[in-house]
Amino acid sequence: MMQRPWFKVFIWFAGTVFFFMASAALISYFGPVPTEAQVMAYMAGMMAAMENSLMGLSMSLEGDSQLKGLIAQIASVTVPLIFVGIGFGVLVRIRRSRID
């Protein structure tokens, strides 16, 4: 697998992402003080998160229909992922046991 060109491209991409991340953290940490526009953009983003994302919904009451809808949405992503993961794990085990 490690010798496949497409996988080499993936490794290069993954490596680049981490270098971007480190650079972004350094630039942000040591960069100039944020402008008022940047602070406002961040605050607006936070407000949007409070309204639309889990941040605000986690603080809501259990009876909130929006919260229930969001939990169902998350479950629709994570539950198949869990089953795909389990299925893939079983497949790997079966394939390995056949080879052994």
Partner 1 sequence: MNVRFDFIMHWLWTIVFAILALSGLAMVGPRYGWILVYDIAAADFVHRVLAAVFVLLTSVSVAYEIMRSVKADSKKLTWFIIGKSGYQLFTLITTLIFIVTGVIIWVCMDSNMAATAFSLYIHEKLTYIVIASLIWHIYMKAHALLWPKPSSGIASKAKSKEGEVVSKGGKAL
Which of residues 64, 69, 80, 85 is near partner 1 by CB under 8 A?
85
CA angle 57, 21, 35 (to 5 degrees): 70
Structure token digits, residue 93: 């085990």
Which of residues 12, 68, 87, 94 is near partner 1 by CB under 8 A?
12
CA–CA separation, 92 and 78 (whole Å)? 21
Q: What are phi and psi of 7, to 5 degrees?
A: -75, -35
At which residue do the structure tokens 């650079």 appear?
23
Q: Does 1 bind partner 1 (CB under 8 A)?
A: yes
Which of residues 6, 19, 61, 65 is near partner 1 by CB under 8 A?
19
Q: Which of residues 49-78 bind partner 1 (CB under 8 A)?
A: 49, 51-55, 58-59, 74, 77-78
What would the DSSP string read from start to end of 35-57? PHHHHHHHHHHHHHHHHHSHHHH
- Which spans of this chain sit near partner 1 (rule: CB under 8 A)? 1-3, 5, 8, 10-12, 14-15, 17-19, 21-22, 24-25, 28-29, 31, 34, 38-39, 41-46, 48-49, 51-55, 58-59, 74, 77-78, 81-82, 85, 88-89, 92-93, 95-96, 99
